[in-house]
Amino acid sequence: MPAASTLILFSGAALLLLIIPGPAVLYIVARGATQGRRAALVSVAGVHVGTLVHIAAAAAGLSAIVVASATAFSTVKLAGASYLIYLGIRALLPKPVDTEVSVDESWSTRRVFTDAVVLNVLNPKTAVFFLAFVPQFVDVSAGHTTSQLLVLGIVFIVLGLLSDGGYALAAGWVSERFGNSPELARRRDLVAGVSYISLGLITAFGGRVSSS
């Protein structure tokens, strides 16, 4: 278990990183603005289930392989970028009127959650975060380094749920404020599609972290 002072310092540093909008936040906001508060909150849950995968991978040493290997890093990065672009194209495609009216809510919720999990699992920058940032707060001399890493990961997720949840509620409020007419829904799909594709391109052409 990390010392209390370490947890406080880590929490402050992690919170600063979390409140700065990044790809995950922009994805959550796009979901909330186009599909409402519930979709945004489900996206938050999905994103941090994906974070759990990165925490487990970091504890097992798998993230080190991804970061050290240029091929592995690029493969994961391009897979995540491709998935974002796919979501953007899907949002831009015209939808039949009856499909928009009679959406299966349970299927939609599952799909939103799954999309968020997949996107964060395929985000190699999250793996880099848990290798380059989190270990700075692990006291090797105290032993139980894996346990310390897991605790710090859980703290990060709790803070992420709070900060990302705030963005989700704000985006949901905007969606509810401006209604859900077919014309407005189409405009929001356009914004979401462009946002996802832009995030995909940013992810695809972002530089890789040096293996050193």
- Structure-block tokens of residue 147: 């346990």
d(C-alpha 58, C-alpha 60), whole Å: 5
- Structure-block tokens of residue 164: 């990302």
At 211, phi and psi to the nearest 5?
-70, -10
Give the Cβ contact number of residue 6 at 10 Å.
18
For the four alpha carbons of 67, 70, 72 and 77, in that order, the dihedral sign comes to positive
pLDDT computed for residue 56 by the predictor: 85
pLDDT computed for residue 210 by the predictor: 42
Question: 39 CB contacts (<8 Å, ≥6 apart)?
Answer: 31, 32, 108, 109, 112, 172
d(C-alpha 35, C-alpha 185), whole Å: 9
Q: What is the mean pLDDT of the chain?
A: 75
Query: 204 near 78, Cβ under 8 Å?
Result: yes
d(C-alpha 113, C-alpha 27), whole Å: 12
Over range 79-94, report the average pLDDT: 73
Angle, helices 182-205 vs 23-35, to 10°: value is 170
Query: 76 near 122, Cβ under 8 Å?
Result: yes
For 141-181, the pLDDT digits (tens) are 676 777 888 888 899 999 999 999 999 999 888 777 765 55
| DSSP annotation of 48 | H
pTM: 0.67
- Structure-block tokens of residue 153: 């990961």
Q: Is the pLDDT of residue 116 over 60?
A: yes
pLDDT computed for residue 62 by the predictor: 55
The DSSP result for 90-143, as a single string, is: HHHS---HHHHHS--HHHHHHHHHHHHHHHHHT-HHHHHHHHHTGGGG--GGGS
pLDDT exceeding 90 applies to what percent of the chain?
15
For 6-56, the pLDDT digits (tens) are 888 888 888 877 887 777 888 888 888 878 889 999 999 999 999 998 888
At 112, phi and psi to the nearest 5?
-60, -45
206: amino acid identity, one letter = G
Over range 99-114, report the average pLDDT: 63
d(C-alpha 198, C-alpha 91), whole Å: 13
